[in-house]
Amino acid sequence: NAGVTQTPKFQVLKTGQSMTLQCAQDMNHNSMYWYRQDPGMGLRLIYYSASEGTTDKGEVPNGYNVSRLNKREFSLRLESAAPSQTSVYFCASSEEGSRIYYGYTFGSGTRLTVV
């Protein structure tokens, strides 16, 4: 099925461990995004990539790094996980020119717990 695929779906980390969240889209979209969702906070943008080879910080980038590996893939890395990074992470993609008409397509999320 076409869309945005995130892996893994669930992960438990110990404080200080590192991990990479993977995201891939097969809709040939130029733009990709990483959000975190926390109770009462809605969705907050961590990083985004407007096109292959570019990345920019969003609202809450501290403690994260990203890589736009190619047009399809956009990964999010936690170098040293902290309990404050316990959250649900969503990847999304859009076609820049048609975003105002079609919005974003979201993945199903990664539920991360840092203990």
**Contact positions toward other proteins, by CB under 8 A?**
4, 33, 40-43, 45, 48, 58, 90, 92, 99-109
Helix and strand counts by DSSP (H, E) for the chain = 1, 11
Shortest distance in whole angstroms from residue 16 CB to other proteins: 28
Nearer Cβ to other proteins (17/75): 75
Q: Are 99 and 31 in contact (CB under 8 A)?
A: yes
Provide the 3-class DSSP secondary structure of residue 51.
coil
Nearer Cβ to other proteins (38/79): 38
Q: Identify the CA nearest to 78 among candidates 34, 26, 43, 44.
A: 34
Shortest distance in whole angstroms from residue 81 CB to other proteins: 22
Nearer Cβ to other proteins (85/90): 90
